[in-house]
Amino acid sequence: MTDRLYYTDARLDRFTAVVLEITHDGQRVVLDRTAFYPTSGGQPHDLGILGDIAVVDVIDDEERIVHCLVDPIGVPVGSMLVGQIDTTRRFDHRQQHTGQHLLSAILTDEFGWPTVSVHFGDDTNTVDVACDDFDPTLLATIERRVNALIVQNRRVSVSFEDAAVASDLRKPSDRDGELRIVTIEGIDRSACGGTHVDFTGEIGAMLLRRAEKAKGNTRIEFVCGHRAVSRARLDAVLLSTSARTLSAAPHDLPGLVEQQLQRLADGERERKRLAGELARYQAAAMWTACIPGSDGVRRIVASTTGAVKESEPLAQQLVALGFCAVLISNGVTGGVLMATAEDTGIDAGQRLRTALQAVGGRGGGSPRLAQGAVPDPSQVKVVLESLGFLATTPESSA
């Protein structure tokens, strides 16, 4: 059994311990006691140094804590080692975890949204609450409420109580025996094995970043302490940079961005309209210039340097003129598009699929419009000829 020192002293950052077991060629070590917190309860593990070797992971193996090292430890079982916790990472985790307890308490008590699940990440954290119709404008209200409680500097204490008699827990525990209870004075009592600050003032501040729907619940993203300051600073830099790029004040950005998006939408509509007009003119010229075959069908060939799908408007304008079949290809990518007028009786999807499969390509579509590709662009000519678009057919650019 490993004595978990962090249970009673989350501030402890240096300790001595005896080596009980060494495995995995010296890179996994079990101690008689440790201050290293393992990944558990959603909280990430500690980092630090054991002896003179970096600890890269800490695993909770039931009654034992396993320390995973970057290199072999190089000492025998029974040796005494000194462990040093990465205090910056530990304090960050203490801030995030205590902040989550406080946030969950407010969301439950004042809004009626119990916590469903929690995730602590390296950059940000989330709490999922039982709310299926969240109003995003409430984020600011919740944030103000939580931060008002943080500055009250309420005591955060740890006690060990028998599960049979432990009362007033925010969420009943399904465990028997002794429970570790974390209490935020006058606000919350929760069974928890994580590391926490001693007073809420140490959380520093909480920033609620966003809320979104998640599996019938609401997921709220939050950061605390130094993370909140760093995130707010990054947001300010991004906002200022964007504003400077657009020669605007930061507070004018939302309206300006909306205007720009509207202009883009208007421009795209106009582009499509002009492309349609151009396609009509091109189609009329290509249809007229193409000499019908012996069956009266005009077989029109065109090439493109872009995706063949982008040539659909031209192909549709051509077949609308009647009694013609169109093949547009890209000689670099091997893309092929085929369209046929209904009065030709030619099934574009079936014909193109068969021709492509014959050279190892894939594709298909409807009787009027189909597309696909060949594995080797040089095979486009083979497909063209097998479909009756002879090499002597005049070719245009799409």
Q: So where are the chain's domains?
A: 3-85, 91-245, 283-397
- 76-80, 149-153, 240-244, 266-270: least confidently modelled range: 240-244
pLDDT mean over 142-162: 96
Four-residue CA torsion sign, 150, 155, 157, 161: negative
More confident position, 60 or 390:
60
What DSSP element (H or E) covers 61? strand 53-61
Whether pLDDT at 391 is above 60: no
Under 8 Å between Cβ of 42 and 120: yes
Pairing of β 3-4 and β 33-34: parallel
* pTM for this entry: 0.71
**Residue 392: what pLDDT?**
45
Distance of alpha carbon 392 from alpha carbon 398, whole angstroms: 18
Tell me the per-residue pLDDT of 81-124, one tens digit each, with 9 for 90 and over: 999 999 999 999 999 999 999 999 999 999 999 999 999 999 99
Question: Six-digit token pair at 362?
Answer: 């894939």
Q: In the prediction, which pLDDT does 272 show?
A: 87
pLDDT of amino acid 251? 84
pLDDT at 398: 63
Give the β-pairing of 33-34 and 28-31.
unpaired
Name the CATH superfamily housing domain 91-245: Threonyl-trna Synthetase; Chain A, domain 2 (3.30.980.10)
Q: What is the DSSP letter of 149?
A: H
Least confident of 161-175, 264-278, 295-309: 161-175
d(CA 109, CA 114): 8
Q: Which CATH number fits domain 283-397: 3.10.310.40, 3.40.630.30, 3.10.20.520, 2.40.50.140?
A: 3.10.310.40
Cβ atoms of 345 and 367 within 8 Å: the answer is no
Instruction: Identify the DSSP state of 89.
Output: H
Round to whole Å and give the CA distance between 10 and 245. 46
Q: Which amino acid does the sequence have at 140?
A: A
Nearest to 299 by CA among 396, 234, 221: 396
Kindly state the average pLDDT of the residues 378-389: 90
- Cα angle: 60, vertex 61, 65; to 5 degrees: 60
pLDDT band at 347, cuts 50/70/90? Answer: very high
Q: Contact at 8 Å (CB) between 357 and 317?
A: no
Q: How far is CA 173 from CA 62, 126, 163, 168, 231, in A?
A: 18, 22, 7, 11, 35
Q: Which pLDDT belongs to residue 70?
A: 97
Contact 47, 56 (CB under 8 A): yes
Of the candidates 47, 54, 49, 218, the residue with the CA atom closest to the CA atom of residue 130: 218
Instruction: Name 228's Cβ contacts closer than 8 Å, sequence gap at least 6.
Output: 204, 205, 206, 207
Q: Please state the rounded mean pLDDT for residues 363-374.
A: 94
Q: pLDDT value at position 209?
A: 94
Q: What is the pLDDT of residue 14?
A: 97
Give me the pLDDT at residue 166, please.
87
What confidence tier does 176 reach under pLDDT thresholds 50, 70, 90? Answer: confident
CATH class of 3-85: mainly beta
Distance of CA 337 to the CA centre of its chain: 35
pLDDT tens figures, 280-299: 999 999 999 999 988 999 99
Give the pLDDT of residue 275: 86
State the average pLDDT over residues 243-248.
84
Interval 346-367 mean pLDDT: 94
Could you read off the pLDDT of 13-72 as tens digits, one per residue?
A: 999 999 999 999 999 999 999 999 999 988 999 999 999 999 999 999 989 999 999 999
- Summary mean pLDDT of the chain: 93
* Token output for 348: 């574009």
Query: Mean pLDDT across the stretch 301-324?
Result: 93
pLDDT at 18: 97
Confidence of residue 242 (pLDDT cuts 50, 70, 90): confident
